[in-house]
Amino acid sequence: MVDISEFVFDCKPEVSDIKLLADIVFGQDYLTESRIEEYLSNPNYIITTLCHKDRFIGVSFLLNTTLAALDERVVELITEKFHWKKEQPIILHHQTFLAEAYQGLGLGKALVLHSEKKAAKENLPQVSVVWQYTGNKLHTLLKQLGYKEAGIIPKYWHKDSLDKKYSCSICGSPCNCDALILVKPQQR
Ligand SMILES: CC(C)(COP(=O)(O)OP(=O)(O)OC[C@H]1O[C@@H](n2cnc3c(N)ncnc32)[C@H](O)[C@@H]1OP(=O)(O)O)[C@@H](O)C(=O)NCCC(=O)NCCS
């Protein structure tokens, strides 16, 4: 474990620093600079950044949206399984990632807890689409926070990776990874 007081939440990284880290953890060009700029300028994004000694090391992007705005396969799965309406306002736990050198020290948990605390004020059900592989720490973390498994969508990013020409850090290009859909019902 680390001394969390050495780390600064909600620091102001450059877009290029976020892109560089995303290229390493997710794969080349999965997140483009224009997409990151879009996130940063969209007031519906709940963003928590983390820095150590002025170095950007991680970020969590949550989005205040509706179920209908998500990928249609996710919408279908959730409406069928949980009977939510498509217009249901939700928080999408969009992306959380940390520089490799800082992983496994409890910082991902701190980052997720920090961002989930901000999102809790909205009191909305939450959804996340995560990589389906044994040992995915984000999956473990979200389960600890009350997210339930809704189902698996095979080769979730396949078409998107071909259309947007990005490569996956796990399986290359096109991406053939499956997605696990996680859902956290409203708390009160
Ligand atoms: C996912 C990520 C943000 C987690 O952050 P982290 O700092 O590495 O994780 P932490 O040290 O905070 O550990 C989080 C939890 O994972 C679990 N965990 C730790 N090591 C694990 C392992 N080897 N296998 C499975 N679970 C593990 C633990 O339960 C831990 O919670 P606990 O300490 O309360 O038991 C980080 O690893 C990351 O950025 N990975 C690359 C990007 C990524 O995969 N993002 C998710 C895309 S779906």
Ligand 1: does its nearest atom lie under 6 Å from the Cβ of 61? Answer: no
CA-closest candidate to residue 65, choices 94, 36, 97, 38: 94
Q: How far apart are CA 74 and CA 179, in angstroms?
A: 10
Between the CA of 86 and the centroid of ligand 1 the distance, in Å, is 31
Between the CA of 132 and the centroid of ligand 1 the distance, in Å, is 13
Ligand 1: does its nearest atom lie under 6 Å from the Cβ of 131? Answer: yes
Q: Give the three-class secondary structure for 65.
A: strand
128 Cα nearest atom in ligand 1:
48
Judged on CB neighbours under 10 Å (0-12, 13-18, 19+), 151 is middle
Q: How far apart are CA 75 and CA 69, in angstroms?
A: 8
Judged on CB neighbours under 10 Å (0-12, 13-18, 19+), 127 is buried
The total domain count for the chain is 1
Q: Is the distance from CB of 161 to CB of 174 less than 8 angstroms?
A: yes
46, 67, 90, 148 from 120: Cα distances, Å: 11, 17, 11, 17
Between the CA of 91 and the centroid of ligand 1 the distance, in Å, is 21
107 Cα nearest atom in ligand 1:
7
CA-closest candidate to residue 163, choices 79, 48, 71: 71
CA-closest candidate to residue 25, choices 74, 59, 49: 59
- Please tell me the predicted confidence (pLDDT) of residue 186: 79
Q: How far apart are CA 187 and CA 166, in angstroms?
A: 36
Q: CATH number of the domain that 132 lies in?
A: 3.40.630.30
- Please tell me the predicted confidence (pLDDT) of residue 188: 58
For 68, phi then psi, to 5°, come to -60, -25
- Please tell me the predicted confidence (pLDDT) of residue 187: 67
Identify whether 13 is preceded by a cis peptide bond (ω within 30 of 0): no
- Domain that residue 139 falls in: 4-184
Ligand 1: does its nearest atom lie under 6 Å from the Cβ of 94? Answer: no
- Please tell me the predicted confidence (pLDDT) of residue 172: 96
Q: How far apart are CA 81 and CA 83, in angstroms?
A: 6
Ligand 1: does its nearest atom lie under 6 Å from the Cβ of 140? Answer: yes
- Which single residue is written with the structure tokens 């605390």? 117
**Does pTM surpass 0.85?**
yes
Ligand 1: does its nearest atom lie under 6 Å from the Cβ of 103? Answer: yes
Between the CA of 69 and the centroid of ligand 1 the distance, in Å, is 28
Q: How far apart are CA 87 and CA 15, in angstroms?
A: 32
The tens-digit pLDDT sequence of the chain (188 residues) is: 789 999 999 999 999 999 999 999 999 999 999 999 999 999 999 999 999 999 999 999 999 999 999 999 999 999 999 999 999 999 999 999 999 999 999 999 999 999 999 999 999 999 999 999 999 999 999 999 999 999 999 999 999 999 999 999 999 999 999 999 999 997 65
Between the CA of 131 and the centroid of ligand 1 the distance, in Å, is 12
